[in-house]
């Protein structure tokens, strides 16, 4: 069972927390070293994963960098979609609600890119931004990464329009949301955290997306390509890298790692 990042931060000063996190990573890299599994986010060979939530959720987390399957999947998709090297020099990447391990992966793999993190509430980011009213000029960003954020936003249609606005021509938005496995999104305005937990999977989620999210993205003007962890070219590494929730998971979601690559063509 994981101790949440928010719980640790509530009681541990930020510099000490950073030192603790680095020490934990080094120790766990040794403790969990093995050849059964692999985390591409921190380049760790592992004998086992640890669990986010109950073990029967089978939501596998890397014990070294604390990446989830969706982060490992996102990294693979980005490797397929973005050209590394000097061609990224000067490009601007905006990462909403950044995960520490995945942020570090992005900086290592794209050292020439101008990376900035953003969040509405966290103090550990470069920019304080509201997705529904992004305080950036038109066409200011080349790449946006948004993993499991949109389900928290009251007006996701407005948020997607704002993301389209700030992207430069040929810019790309990489987005993931929890998916129900149904065609239609459920987004009744539920009154209590308990109702949202039971129906949407988390107390602070305001909807549970269906496959119609692709229509929402195309309606905003994006050309959308869908990458699914259980399909080629990712299927071969699905279990080895725990790229998404496996069969038998008792989580409410059908999957968490399906990645929508949204290109702004003009």
| % of the chain beyond a pLDDT of 90 | 80
Cβ distance 48 to 34 under 8 Å?
yes
Q: Is the pLDDT of residue 223 over 50?
A: yes
DSSP 255: B
Cβ distance 171 to 262 under 8 Å?
no
Residue located via tokens 């029967």: 56
Name the residue with higher pLDDT: 152 or 30. Answer: 152
- Give the containing element (helix H, strand E) for 26: helix 14-31
The pLDDT confidence band at residue 1, using thresholds 50, 70 and 90, is very low
- Predicted confidence at residue 249, as pLDDT, reads 95
Name the residue with higher pLDDT: 104 or 11. Answer: 104
* pLDDT tens digit sequence for 68-89: 999 999 999 999 998 776 677 8
Residue 37 bridge partners (DSSP): 46
What pTM did the predictor assign? 0.90
- Predicted confidence at residue 6, as pLDDT, reads 55
- Predicted confidence at residue 28, as pLDDT, reads 83
Distance CA 224, CA 193 (A): 33
- Predicted confidence at residue 90, as pLDDT, reads 87
Distance CA 209, CA 217 (A): 12
* pLDDT tens digit sequence for 224-238: 999 999 999 999 999
* pLDDT tens digit sequence for 207-222: 999 999 999 999 999 9
- Predicted confidence at residue 27, as pLDDT, reads 87
- Predicted confidence at residue 20, as pLDDT, reads 62
The reply to whether omega before 112 is within 30° of 0 (cis) is: no
* pLDDT tens digit sequence for 14-69: 656 566 666 777 788 888 999 999 999 999 999 999 999 899 999 999 999 999 99
Distance CA 100, CA 129 (A): 18
Residue 179 bridge partners (DSSP): 209, 255
Count of CB atoms situated within 10 Å of the CB of 186: 13
Count of CB atoms situated within 10 Å of the CB of 114: 15
C-alpha distances out from residue 165 to 94, 137, 219, 259, Å: 13, 8, 13, 20
* pLDDT tens digit sequence for 118-142: 999 988 899 999 999 999 999 999 9
Q: Is the pLDDT of residue 181 over 70?
A: yes
Residue located via tokens 């990573």: 25
- Predicted confidence at residue 17, as pLDDT, reads 56
- Predicted confidence at residue 14, as pLDDT, reads 60
| Rounded average pLDDT over 168-178 | 97
Name the residue with higher pLDDT: 144 or 5. Answer: 144
- Predicted confidence at residue 18, as pLDDT, reads 63
Cβ distance 121 to 153 under 8 Å?
no
When the pLDDT of each residue in the chain is averaged and rounded to a whole number, the result is 91
């Amino acid at each position: 069972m994981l101790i949440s990042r928010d719980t640790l931060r509530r009681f541990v000063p930020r510099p000490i927390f950073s030192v603790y996190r680095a020490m934990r990573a080094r120790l766990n890299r040794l403790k969990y070293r093995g050849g059964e599994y692999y985390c591409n986010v921190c380049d760790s060979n592992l004998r086992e994963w640890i669990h986010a939530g109950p073990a029967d959720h089978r939501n596998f987390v890397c014990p070294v960098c604390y990446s989830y399957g969706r982060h490992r999947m996102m990294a693979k998709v980005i490797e397929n979609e973005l050209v590394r090297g000097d061609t990224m020099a000067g490009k601007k990447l905006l990462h909403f609600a950044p995960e520490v391990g995945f942020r570090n992966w992005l900086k290592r793999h794209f050292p020439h890119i101008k990376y900035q993190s953003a969040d509405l509430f966290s103090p550990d980011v470069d920019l304080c931004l509201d997705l529904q009213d992004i305080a950036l000029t038109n066409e200011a960003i080349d790449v946006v990464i948004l993993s499991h954020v949109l389900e928290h936003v009251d007006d996701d249609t407005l948020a997607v329009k704002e993301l389209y606005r700030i992207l430069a021509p040929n810019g790309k938005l990489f987005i993931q949301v929890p998916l129900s496995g149904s065609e239609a999104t459920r987004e009744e305005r539920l009154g209590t955290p308990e109702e949202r937990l039971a129906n949407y999977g988390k107390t602070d989620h305001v909807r549970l997306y269906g496959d119609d999210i692709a229509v929402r993205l195309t309606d905003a003007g994006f050309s959308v390509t869908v990458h699914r962890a259980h399909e080629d070219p990712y299927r071969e590494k699905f279990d080895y890298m725990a790229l998404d929730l496996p069969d038998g998971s008792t989580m409410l979601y059908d999957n968490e790692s399906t990645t929508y690559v949204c290109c702004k063509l003009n």
